[in-house]
């Protein structure tokens, strides 16, 4: 048989255009309308199916939002309550250590670096609301950079910086140093130069990326039965990146610059309009690099090389005026970069049933019933009136009715104003509402019993057995959702391991359980399988703990009877149960409470258990001897403690006596000092008084002497006159 001719690029574009057109027709005609209506029902927008009339009730029953809002937190707890979402299982004996490392590292990257909580929550939300939550996972090879400035670097520091392979110099200036004295010549020479530099440092070569793809941007062939390599031959991701983003991905800039810009308003489907409002102006309009273009990232099985065997190829096409352009075309050896989470899959069909499929009709009927009941209630409380306007004097009181308004009339008021009574029959519709609630509960497992709000359950009317039966039936449906989602999660984790092992080409150190741990995925087995544990968590915490407690008690009985290394329930299984109880109780990590026993510890315990057991009598004698030794040692320690206590007491007593003597001597010395000071003060005062008295005596003597001298002078002065008298009588 002659070999077929290889396919040309034009033929490839023509085939892909046909497949894209058929997939868009399938998505637009069959899937888009369902997704659009589900989004509107979730938001309480029912104008298309039940438009409200002016003056009538416009209330909407939020059954879809209530059901999704109740299911989603429980499903998130199923997968995220434990320490690890997925656990890798070794494929070969030498994979034991790498399986544990892969489990720790992939879960770390998913939750810490890829915003795993919001990614998984959004995918589960889409799965519940529209049937399929689509995840895209790929290795983004675009490098990440950071700009840094350095000032005053020495020559050595500058050389070390620019020689780094991850550094690109953006700006550089060398500054001459201050002149300095040369000790050899004695002259001035230039000082060491410094460098100011701005660099661009590559902080990451590439990283794992996970994103949730909106349903309207994902295309799949209409005959696909599942999103796997075996169940479909074509799928594509439609997106509108900027020209700058495409250049960073490595596509030819000349082709990117020639592409026609994406028109945000021309071809927007109704489903996208229901997610976000129409913009008057596209982002980046006026900036060519920020303009958006429409591309299709296609994964298709096609016999491109003409060997008669169709192979998977990745073809990236850009939408352009006229013929579309191929940006990339290469054979694809990896699995499809898509995973869908389907809570309720349907055999032989890709789209799963959604919560909208289950309760959309219920919400529509209940909305109609509620509106009619409220309209009836309004008419009962404020009925229409028949009025004889000619007999009413103040017609405004009738036309603009106000509370307490007086209607003026000369006639009998009953003949002028009459209420057209409307009986309230809304209570007759209440059983219909209850019936449709039961329909929704049977379909989804979400009802009063599962939410813990049933009045009969709260008042204790039903038996505990009946209540548990209702709860178990409700949890059965939710566990089915969780187990179906787990199949998609298993595919996701297998794809993540392959991406990391293939693309991460260096060791990375991460912080796990309070310790820095190196992770090198290059040596891991990328084909290891993964298990997702959903056996617990879909019910209440009390129910899960009750089940685990029963398992723990059975394991304890086996351990007591058969030993810690028994083949039925060894100690590592018991440790796993204890750790699981910690996780189910709401504590994220069980390492703070119970260690995880590995094969090495169990092997050491088995070897220890295999050693010959000593003679029981000898063990008893040794135990008695050990007890006697411990007793003698305790008595000796007690005697030593008593002697030490007495010695310490004597020391304390002596120290206290010495302290009292010191205080008494100090008091005596202080008193002697005060007495000496008083005597000295008294002697000083007596000396001062004697000196003062002596001065006063000397002053008095001086005054007496002066008085005597004056008297003598006066006497002497009076004597000559007397003589003259005697001589001359």
d(CA 205, CA 627): 67
Report the DSSP pairing between strands 87-89 and 529-531.
antiparallel
Please, which pLDDT band fits residue 271 given cuts at 50, 70 and 90? low
What is the pLDDT of the chain when averaged over all its residues? 82
Whether residue 260 has pLDDT greater than 70? yes
CA-nearest of 315, 316, 260 to 292 is 260
Per-residue pLDDT, 548: 84
pLDDT, tens digit (0-9, with 9 covering 90-100), for 652-705: 888 888 888 888 888 888 888 888 888 888 888 888 888 888 888 888 888 888
pLDDT, tens digit (0-9, with 9 covering 90-100), for 205-259: 788 999 999 999 999 999 999 999 999 999 999 999 999 889 888 888 999 988 8
Half-sphere exposure of 182 (CA within 13 A, CB side): 7
Concatenating the DSSP letter of every residue in 625-645 gives HHHHHHHHHHHHHHHHHHHHH
Task: Count CB atoms within 10 A of the CB of residue 596.
Answer: 13
Question: Is there a contact between 574 and 602 (Cβ–Cβ < 8 Å)?
Answer: no
Q: In degrees rounded to 5, what are phi and psi of residue 195?
A: -130, 135
Half-sphere exposure of 662 (CA within 13 A, CB side): 6
460 contacts: CB under 8 Å, gap ≥ 6: none
Whether residue 616 has pLDDT greater than 70? no
Whether residue 81 has pLDDT greater than 90? no
Q: Which residue has the higher pLDDT, 617 or 164?
A: 164
pLDDT, tens digit (0-9, with 9 covering 90-100), for 584-612: 776 766 777 787 776 777 777 777 766 55
d(CA 618, CA 319): 89
Q: What's CA 334's distance to the chain center, in Å?
A: 31
Question: Is there a contact between 551 and 520 (Cβ–Cβ < 8 Å)?
Answer: no
d(CA 129, CA 674): 100
Whether residue 1 has pLDDT greater than 50? no
Least confident of 90-99, 285-294, 462-471, 532-541: 462-471
Per-residue pLDDT, 538: 47
pLDDT, tens digit (0-9, with 9 covering 90-100), for 489-503: 999 999 999 999 999
Per-residue pLDDT, 457: 40
| Most confident of the ranges 142-146, 182-186, 225-229 | 225-229
Alpha helices in 81-154 (DSSP H): 96-108, 116-130
SS (HEC) of 153-198: ECHHHHHHHHCCCCEEEEEEEEEEEEEEECCCCCCEEEEEEEEEEE
d(CA 649, CA 636): 20
Concatenating the DSSP letter of every residue in 285-341 gives TT-GGG-B--EEEEEEEE--SSSS--EEEEEEEE--SSS-EEEEEEE--S--SEEEE
**Count of all residues that appear for the chain in the document:** 729
What's 406's DSSP letter?
Answer: P
d(CA 84, CA 489): 12
232 contacts: CB under 8 Å, gap ≥ 6: 220, 221, 223, 224, 225, 226, 350
Q: Which residue has the higher pLDDT, 67 or 28?
A: 67
Least confident of 25-39, 311-325, 529-543: 529-543
Report, in this order, helix, strand and coil percent for the chain, each rounded to 5. Answer: 55, 15, 30
Say what the alpha-carbon torsion angle 91, 97, 99, 102 is, to the nearest 10 degrees.
-150
Per-residue pLDDT, 453: 39
Share of the chain above pLDDT 90, in %: 29
Task: Count CB atoms within 10 A of the CB of residue 84.
Answer: 19
Please, which pLDDT band fits residue 264 given cuts at 50, 70 and 90? low
CA-nearest of 175, 180, 203 to 191 is 180
| Most confident of the ranges 99-108, 459-468, 475-484, 559-568 | 99-108
Mean pLDDT of 286-303: 90
Question: Is there a contact between 198 and 171 (Cβ–Cβ < 8 Å)?
Answer: yes
Instruction: State the sign of the Cα–Cα–Cα–Cα dihedral 209, 210, 212, 215.
Output: positive
Beta bridge partners of 177: 191
d(CA 274, CA 293): 22
CA distances to 436, 437, 448 from 460, in Å? 24, 21, 14
d(CA 301, CA 564): 55
Least confident of 61-65, 628-632, 677-681: 628-632
pLDDT, tens digit (0-9, with 9 covering 90-100), for 362-372: 999 999 999 98
Per-residue pLDDT, 273: 57
Q: Which residue has the higher pLDDT, 630 or 44?
A: 44
Q: Which residue has the higher pLDDT, 273 or 78?
A: 78
Mean pLDDT of 35-63: 90
Q: In degrees rounded to 5, what are phi and psi of residue 340?
A: -115, 140
Alpha helices in 447-595 (DSSP H): 448-451, 455-459, 464-503, 541-562, 571-584
CA distances to 124, 151, 665, 673 from 678, in Å? 100, 77, 20, 9
Whether residue 532 has pLDDT greater than 70? yes
- Per-residue b or e along 531-566, where b marks 16 or more CB atoms closer than 10 Å to that residue's CB: ebbbebbbbeeebbbeebeebbeebeebbeeeebbe
Instruction: State the sign of the Cα–Cα–Cα–Cα dihedral 523, 526, 527, 532.
Output: positive
Question: Is there a contact between 422 and 376 (Cβ–Cβ < 8 Å)?
Answer: yes
Per-residue pLDDT, 433: 85
Whether residue 176 has pLDDT greater than 70? yes
pTM: 0.70
d(CA 490, CA 532): 6
d(CA 724, CA 729): 8
d(CA 312, CA 301): 4
Whether residue 177 has pLDDT greater than 80? no
Q: What's CA 708's distance to the chain center, in Å?
A: 120
Per-residue pLDDT, 214: 93
Please, which pLDDT band fits residue 269 given cuts at 50, 70 and 90? low
Per DSSP, the three-state class of 152 is strand
Please, which pLDDT band fits residue 727 given cuts at 50, 70 and 90? very low
Mean pLDDT of 328-332: 92
d(CA 569, CA 665): 80
Per-residue pLDDT, 104: 92
Q: Which residue has the higher pLDDT, 42 or 562?
A: 42
Whether residue 461 has pLDDT greater than 70? no
Per-residue pLDDT, 266: 45
Per-residue pLDDT, 728: 43
Beta bridge partners of 314: 299, 330
Q: What's CA 484's distance to the chain center, in Å?
A: 25
First-to-last CA distance in the chain? 205
d(CA 427, CA 435): 14
Across the chain, which distance is largest between two alpha carbons, in Å? Answer: 205
CA-nearest of 497, 486, 542 to 519 is 497
Whether residue 459 has pLDDT greater than 50? no
Helical pair 116-130 and 464-503, crossing angle rounded to 10 deg = 120
Please, which pLDDT band fits residue 534 given cuts at 50, 70 and 90? low
Per DSSP, the three-state class of 3 is coil
Whether residue 724 has pLDDT greater than 50? no
* ∠ CA 352-355-359, rounded to 5°: 130
Please, which pLDDT band fits residue 385 given cuts at 50, 70 and 90? confident
Alpha helices in 350-426 (DSSP H): 355-381, 396-399, 413-416
CA-nearest of 123, 124, 127, 126 to 136 is 123
Cβ burial, residue 268 (10 Å; 0-12/13-18/19+): middle
What's 112's DSSP letter?
Answer: I
CA distances to 18, 177, 229, 331, 605 from 15, in Å? 5, 69, 19, 16, 65
d(CA 143, CA 507): 17
616 contacts: CB under 8 Å, gap ≥ 6: none
């Amino acid at each position: 048989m002659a070999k077929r001719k290889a396919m040309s690029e034009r033929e490839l574009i023509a085939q892909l255009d046909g497949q894209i057109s058929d997939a868009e027709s399938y998505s637009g005609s069959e899937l888009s309308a369902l997704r659009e209506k589900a989004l509107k029902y979730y938001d309480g927008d029912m104008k298309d199916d039940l438009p409200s009339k002016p003056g009538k009730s416009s209330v909407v029953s939020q059954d879809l939002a209530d059901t999704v809002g109740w299911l989603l937190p429980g499903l998130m707890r199923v997968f995220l309550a434990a320490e690890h979402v997925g656990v890798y299982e070794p494929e070969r004996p030498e994979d034991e250590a790498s399986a544990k490392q892969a489990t720790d590292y992939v879960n770390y990257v998913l939750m810490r670096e890829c915003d795993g909580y919001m990614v998984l929550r959004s995918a589960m939300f889409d799965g519940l609301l529209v049937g399929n939550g689509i995840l895209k996972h790929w290795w983004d090879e675009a490098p990440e950079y950071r700009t840094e400035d350095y000032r005053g670097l020495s020559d050595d520091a500058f050389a070390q910086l620019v020689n780094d392979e991850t550094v690109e110099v953006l700006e550089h200036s060398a500054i001459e140093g201050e002149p300095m004295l040369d000790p050899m010549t004695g002259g001035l020479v230039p000082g060491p130069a410094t460098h100011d530099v701005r660099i661009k440092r590559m902080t990451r070569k590439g990283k794992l990326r996970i994103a949730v793809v909106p349903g309207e941007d994902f295309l799949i062939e209409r005959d696909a039965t599942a999103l796997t390599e075996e169940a479909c031959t074509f799928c594509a991701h439609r997106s509108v990146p900027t020209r700058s983003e495409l250049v960073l991905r490595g596509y030819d800039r000349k082709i990117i610059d020639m592409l026609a810009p994406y028109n945000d308003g021309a071809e927007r489907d109704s489903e996208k309009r229901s997610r976000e409002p129409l913009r008057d102006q596209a982002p980046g309009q006026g900036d060519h690099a920020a303009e958006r273009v429409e591309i299709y990232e296609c994964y298709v099985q096609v016999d491109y090389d003409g060997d008669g065997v169709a192979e998977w190829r990745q073809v990236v096409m850009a939408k352009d005026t006229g013929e579309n352009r191929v940006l990339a075309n290469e054979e694809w050896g990896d699995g499809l970069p898509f995973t869908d989470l389907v809570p309720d899959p349907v055999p032989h069909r890709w789209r799963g049933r959604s919560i909208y499929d289950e309760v959309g009709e219920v919400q529509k009927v209940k909305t109609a019933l509620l509106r009619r009941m409220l309209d009836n209630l309004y008419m009962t409380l404020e009925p229409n009136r028949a009025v004889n306007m000619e007999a009413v004097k103040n017609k405004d009181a009738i036309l603009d009715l106000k509370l307490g308004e007086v209607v003026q009339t000369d006639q009998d008021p009953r003949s002028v104003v009459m209420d057209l009574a409307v009986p309230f029959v809304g209570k007759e519709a209440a059983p219909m509402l209850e019936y449709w609630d039961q329909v929704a509960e049977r379909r989804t497992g979400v009802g009063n019993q599962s939410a813990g709000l049933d009045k009969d359950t709260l008042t204790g009317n039903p038996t505990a057995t009946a209540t548990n039966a209702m709860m178990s039936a409700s949890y059965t449906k939710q566990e089915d959702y969780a187990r179906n989602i787990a199949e998609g999660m298993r595919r996701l984790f297998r794809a993540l391991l392959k991406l990391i092992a293939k693309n991460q080409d260096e060791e990375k150190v991460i912080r796990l359980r309070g310790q820095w741990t190196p992770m090198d995925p290059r040596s891991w087995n990328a084909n290891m399988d993964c298990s997702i544990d959903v056996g617990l968590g879909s019910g209440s915490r009390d129910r899960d703990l009750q089940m685990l407690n029963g398992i723990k008690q059975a394991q304890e009985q086996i351990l007591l009877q058969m030993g810690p290394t028994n083949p039925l329930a060894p100690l590592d299984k018991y440790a796993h149960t204890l750790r699981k109880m910690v996780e189910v109780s709401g504590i994220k990590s069980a390492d703070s409470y119970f260690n995880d026993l590995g094969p090495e510890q169990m092997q050491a315990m088995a070897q220890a258990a295999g050693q010959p057991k000593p003679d029981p009598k000898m063990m008893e004698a040794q135990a008695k001897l050990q007890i006697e030794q411990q007793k003698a040692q305790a008595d000796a320690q007690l005697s030593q403690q008593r002697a030490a206590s007495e010695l310490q007491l004597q020391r304390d007593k002596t120290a206290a006596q010495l302290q009292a003597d010191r205080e008494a001597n100090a008091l005596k010395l202080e008193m002697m000092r005060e007495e000496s000071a008083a005597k000295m003060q008294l002697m000083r005062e007596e000396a001062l008084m004697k000196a003062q008295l002596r001065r006063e005596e000397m002053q008095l003597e001086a005054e007496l002497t002066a008085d005597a001298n004056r008297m003598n002078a006066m006497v002497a002065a009076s004597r000559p006159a007397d003589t003259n008298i005697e001589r001359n009588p």
